[in-house]
A = this chain, B = another copy of it.
């Protein structure tokens, strides 16, 4: 096992990605980790810029995340939202009061000309998050779903329609013209392990891979690349990843996920429950590792992080 100084680059959406980000942050010092977060599901609500995945990761690392929902701030209240509802604003996207404050602040700083990267750095610093949490891009990228119910903005599909419409395709609007953020580019150069978090390969990691030059840079990445399947036993712990793959005519299992990362990844991590899929994933050209990947506790998050570093030879 090598003793190279670790620098990990974690690609994350909300949910599973945020949990693994917590484990990484507990296992590594701040300067050894860059967490690159999907911004394809950013949206404007009430004229405010909301970055759901960035916030989920930020709240998770700040110890503020609502453990019941997996998003939003624990103990948050809905006084402002109730007033917004009374004022006739659409309120299907549930924003707590503390959460709203974050969007208010972010929007103010963005309007002052700050990049989303700089805003995120500032918010994280204020909330005591010492590890680097960075948007995948400072350019506007918006994931849009082509569905049986017409083309939908991401949050329309995901929150308002509860991922129910069948999707026929996905557009990462603006992605091919959007540059990766500076910190993302730097981490792609500097990191010796790149990890695809257990996030939705279509909706969370898809937008990251669609950015200008990212697929090529990951294909030629110098270090070890590891992917964790967000689908276990044919089901997603949370979110529509399995359903999305089915809708798109792909296999709704870890094999379907692995196919999406072919040529971009060295090690594919299967949950012990999916041991039976090991041979098929290996046949796609991956080194396969099998281990418990469900992260219900803090210990499990850190344990998974450490095992990833070990298998990547950087632990």
A residues whose Cβ falls under 8 Å from a Cβ of B: 46-48, 73, 76-77, 79-84, 86-89, 96-98, 100-102, 104-105, 107-108, 111, 122-123, 126-127
Question: Who on chain B is nearest to A73 by CB?
Answer: B83
Given A80-B80, A126-B88, verify A104-B100 contact (CB < 8 Å): yes
A91 (CB) vs chain B CBs: closest residue: B101
Contact A86:B127 (CB < 8 A) given known A80-B100, A98-B80, A100-B100: yes
Are B46 and A87 in contact (CB-based, < 8 A)? Answer: no
Distance to closest chain B CB from A278 (angstroms): 46
Given A88-B122, A88-B126, A126-B88, verify A83-B111 contact (CB < 8 Å): no
- A80, A82, A122 pick with most chain B CB within 10 angstroms: A80
Q: Which of B48, B77, B105 contacts A79 (CB 8 A)?
A: B77
Chain A binding surface, main DSSP class: helix
Task: Tell me if B101 and A83 are in contact (CB < 8 A).
Answer: yes
Given contacts A88-B126, A126-B88, contact A83 B108 (CB under 8 A): no
> A101 touching B87 by the CB < 8 A rule?
yes
Query: Are B77 and A105 in contact (CB-based, < 8 A)?
Result: no
Tell whether, in the assembled complex, residue B46 and residue A108 are in contact, meaning their CB atoms are under 8 Å apart.
yes
Query: Does the CB pair A97–B84 fall under 8 Å?
Result: no
Q: Give the docked Cα–Cα distance between A88 and B123 (Å).
A: 9
Given A46-B104, A79-B101, A82-B101, 16 other A-B contacts at CB below 8 A? A47-B104, A73-B83, A77-B77, A79-B79, A79-B98, A80-B97, A80-B104, A83-B97, A84-B101, A84-B104, A87-B102, A87-B122, A87-B123, A87-B126, A88-B126, A97-B97
- Which of A73, A83, A84 counts the most chain B CB atoms within 10 A? A83
